[in-house]
Amino acid sequence: MVIVIGGAGYVGSHVCKYLGRAGVRVEVIDNLSTGNRSSVLGKRLHVIDILNRRDLDSFFKENAADIDVVMHFAAKSLVSESIDDPAVYYRNNVDGVLNVLDAMHKNNINNFVFSSTAATFGEPEYLPIDENHSQKPINPYGRSKLMVEEVLKDYSSAYGINSVSLRYFNACGADPENEIGEMHDPETHLLPLILQAASGRRSDICVFGRDYDTPDGTCIRDYVHVMDLYQAHEAAMRELITSKKKGAFSYNLGNGSGFSVQEVIDVARKVVAEDNKTIKVIDKPRRCGDPARLVADSTIAKQELRWIPRFAELEVIIRHAWAWEKKVAGL
């Protein structure tokens, strides 16, 4: 059995659905503070806050004999919010994970897959960013994730808890079957913001800066489809179980080729035009702390986890996300 903590959220819900499709028994822990009950899709949901040690310990004690792997997606992830209120981020993203790991240790559960982030790297020193790149996060969100990566190394050495940390670059897209998708409140990710401007759920999309050192002057990011993130989590799970991988391992997850903000808008305009929709764009000055380019080197994940992104084409990513946005918007 796999326990998915944060399985009512964006990436976690996709992982739950498709692990179940692959024949894996999945149960979900989520406090529903940002997750959606409707995204759990028939999996057994335990409404538990990971900051509540008593409830968490009770759950693990009761189910320990059946648990093979624990996956963790229950992080707070808004950079600006982490700057304004870092205590909340360190408490949830670090203390919460410690509570989970301690409950695992007490009950002899030794396999952990952690949802990490490219924000652990900070400003890029070279591109593409590989696992040897220095980690100098520039905000509390990134620092909280890096702290957990360091904790996992120590818990592996001291307690034998084996782990895989998966550092996403820009998660995007939606379930190709259109049952679940991205539902953040507030929404901060570029692609859903663009598509909400097309559906009418917002009036426009802002482009922050057109004077970067890139071909069209807008920032370049590495977009990775949520289904490809699912594939990486399944691969990490199987590696821990079948290969009995020992230690604490970290992998970067991205397509290895970035798309600019303007490229994303251009392809989105092409897709939504098929439904006679348009996208209004407003130009604004640069935001502080936005690097010109962020692109991943995922070579090690491909070699060691045998991970191959299947949905790397930008138009495919946008078509899946647009189908979901139309569903949510009632179009």
A 10 A CB-CB count for 301 gives 26
3-class SS letters over the chain: CEEEECCCCHHHHHHHHHHHHCCCCEEEECCCCCCCHHHHCCCEEECCCCCCHHHHHHHHHHHHHHCCEEEECCCCCCHHHHHHCHHHHHHHHHHHHHHHHHHHHHCCCCEEEEEEEHHHCCCCCCCCECCCCCCCCCCHHHHHHHHHHHHHHHHHHHHCCEEEEEEECEEECCCCCCCCCCCCCCCCCHHHHHHHHHHCCCCCEEEECCCCCCCCCCCEECEEEHHHHHHHHHHHHHHHHHCCCCCEEEEEECCCCCEEHHHHHHHHHHHHHCCCCCCCEEEECCCCCCCCEECECCHHHHHHCCCCCCCCCHHHHHHHHHHHHHHHHCC
Phi/psi at 242 (nearest 5 deg)?
A: -85, -35
- 159 belongs to the catalytic site: no
Strands 259-260 and 220-221, bridge-based pairing: antiparallel
d(CA 122, CA 114): 19
In the set 10, 89, 90, 141, the catalytic residue is: 141
Active site residues: 141
